[in-house]
Amino acid sequence: MTIYVTVLFGTMLIATLLVPFVSRLAKRYRLVDAPGLRKVHQAPIPRVGGIAFLVPTLALVLPLFFLDNEIGRSFREAKVEFTVLLAAAALMFVVGFIDDIRSVPGYIKLLCLILASLAVCASGATLRSFSVGNWFEIHTGLAAWPLTVLWITAITVCMNFVDGLDGLAGGIAAMVCGTIGLLAFLTDQAAMVVLMLALLGSVVGFLFFNFYPAKIFMGDGGSMFLGFMIGASSIVCQTKTSTVVGLALPFLVLGVPIFDTGFTIFRRRVLERRSMFAPDRKHLHHLLLDLGLCQRTVAIVIYAMTAINTSIGVFMLTADGGKAMALLAAGLLSLLCLFMCVHNSLHYRILATLKHNWAIARETKAVDRSFETAELRMCDVTSFGRWWETICDMGDRMYFRNIGLWHRSNGHYISVRTWNAPEGKFPSDKTAQIRLPLRPDTTGDWELRVRIWVNGYLEVGGRQAMLLARLMDEFPPPQENEAEARAERSAERGSSNSAGGASSQ
């Protein structure tokens, strides 16, 4: 017990002494987070506070490997797992720290996170099986590694996403570390207890300077280090217990950032059709701020929700299988109700947006098929007439109202070809007009003038224009010889009195 208390207050003291020093260095070298549209702070604030997590944790945990007591033996028995865990977490801190200094693309950070998670799997810490009380036991088999990587990656991303308000991520992380530490203590995992106490102490020491109004931010280095340590440690802890509570407990305590991340990814990818890494200002804490709450109140509200779920999780430790599942369901239901209340009328907006996106996707697919057909036909075009015929056919399939080909000679544009859609084909006159300057050749400059019927979605019309421009870049108009021109004009005069269909002149 003496070692537990020493580790907890030792890391707290080191973090408390280290943060002011790191803050001064960050200001000196301008490693600060400047205010912006997505930011809630109004002045530049140092953003490399994650050092206060890494240094105290490693400083007090690593020497314990050499102790000749129960804790030292516990570390040595799982030496590979803990060594890889600490090394991989340090790697994630380095990646995040570099991102704080000089921006790193999201896919690079994700790739490093996956590689670090695979290293943890290789050390032997994987989701091999879990049981629900005495009801049943599930063996993951070949899915053990993918599930482990998914879990660690998800927890790390969640912690990174929730770090958007003074003290928010740190407070949630402190509760999670305390909960995992309690689970480890009840299952006789002394080494994991020490590791969680070290993290808890460093986070609490950091929170003295990070709670509103914050004097320093943990940055991506700190959030990725904390997220990875929590995710991987819960895997190591669950490996020793093989019960569903080992995963359900941290999942429940991290319910707010997990639900927030899930809603964010769904909204960005499905509803807004943007990258999941695209920045915005629609996280839970942003929405609560928009309701008129101050930063301190928003943090306290989310703390309270996390504390309630933490209490439910603690009760799960002493409940049997059925009651544990009932408690888990109650906790998740309370979280769902919170998010549904904050995201007012979300289900109606989801249905309307999905219907809108489905209609656009359906029309876009038809447009793409028309383009691919035209592209294939263009590959076999050897004459000007066939080229123009392919353009007209594409225009008919894509609901163009008319297409005009103009040639510039002696400083003036002269109409060379014109195609018009049949009369009465379109129910309205709403069109988008574009002019495409084509690639010049030896005979002068060419220009394509097009009117595209807009059927309620400007996005589809824009894609039609883009695909037509792409086709013109790939297949510019070939030169028209005299014999071909005379033959086409004779054919047009012979068919000028025919009825119906699109006209080409």
Count CB neighbours of 190 within 10 A: 20
User: What does the pLDDT average to over 373-395?
Assistant: 88
Alpha carbon 334 to its chain centroid, in Å, reads 25
Among 278, 349, 335, smallest CA distance to 301 is for 335
Helix 346-379 with 384-397: angle, nearest 10 deg: 160
For the segment 6-32, the average pLDDT, to the nearest whole number, is 90
Mean pLDDT in residue range 29-51: 74
What pLDDT score does 344 carry?
66
More confident residue, 122 or 491: 122
Task: Please give the domain boundaries of the chain with CATH numbers for all domains.
Answer: 2-344 (no CATH), 370-478 (3.30.450.40)
Average pLDDT, the chain: 82
Determine the pLDDT at residue 128.
80
Report whether pLDDT(340) > 50: yes
Distance in angstroms (rounded) separating the CA atoms of residues 387 and 374: 10
127-156 pLDDT, tens digit per residue, is 887 766 556 667 778 888 999 999 999 999
Q: What is the C-alpha separation between 298 and 289, in angstroms, rounded?
A: 7
Cis peptide upstream of residue 477 (ω within 30 degrees of 0): no
* 45/410: higher pLDDT: 45
The residues near 321 (Cβ < 8 Å, ≥ 6 apart) are 132, 133, 134, 135
Q: How many residues does the chain have?
A: 505
Q: Coil, strand, or helix at residue 475?
A: coil
Question: What pLDDT, on the 0 to 100 scale, is given for residue 37?
Answer: 55
What CA–CA distance (Å, rounded) separates 460 from 14? 59
Report the distance separating Cα 214 and Cα 39, nearest Å. 13
- Strands, E, within 310-411: which ranges? 400-409
Predicted confidence band at 414 (pLDDT cuts at 50, 70, 90)? confident
pLDDT (tens digit, 9 = 90+) per residue, 266-285?
A: 777 777 777 766 666 777 77
**What pLDDT shows up at residue 202?**
95
CA angle 62/76/202 to nearest 5° reads 30
Strand boundaries in 52-163, DSSP class E: 129-132, 136-139
Q: How far apart are CA 102 and CA 454, in angstroms?
A: 44
The CA-based angle 206-313-329, given to 5 degrees, is: 125
Whether residue 441 is predicted with pLDDT greater than 70 in this model: the reply is: no
- What single-letter amino acid sits at 172? I
Q: Residues 154, 158, 164, CA angle at the centre, nearest 5°?
A: 160
Question: What is the model's pLDDT at position 331?
Answer: 83
What letter would DSSP give residue 383?
A: S
At residue 242, the pLDDT reads: 60
The 10 Å Cβ neighbour count of residue 14 is: 20
A 10 A CB-CB count for 414 gives 10
Distance of alpha carbon 180 from alpha carbon 173, whole angstroms: 11
Residue 496 pLDDT: 47
pLDDT at 407 > cutoff 60? yes
pLDDT at 426 over 80: no
- Classify residue 418 as left (phi > 0), alpha (psi -120 to 50) or beta: beta
Choose among 444, 465, 445, 446: nearest CA to 454. Answer: 465
For residue 198, what pLDDT band results from cuts at 50, 70 and 90? very high
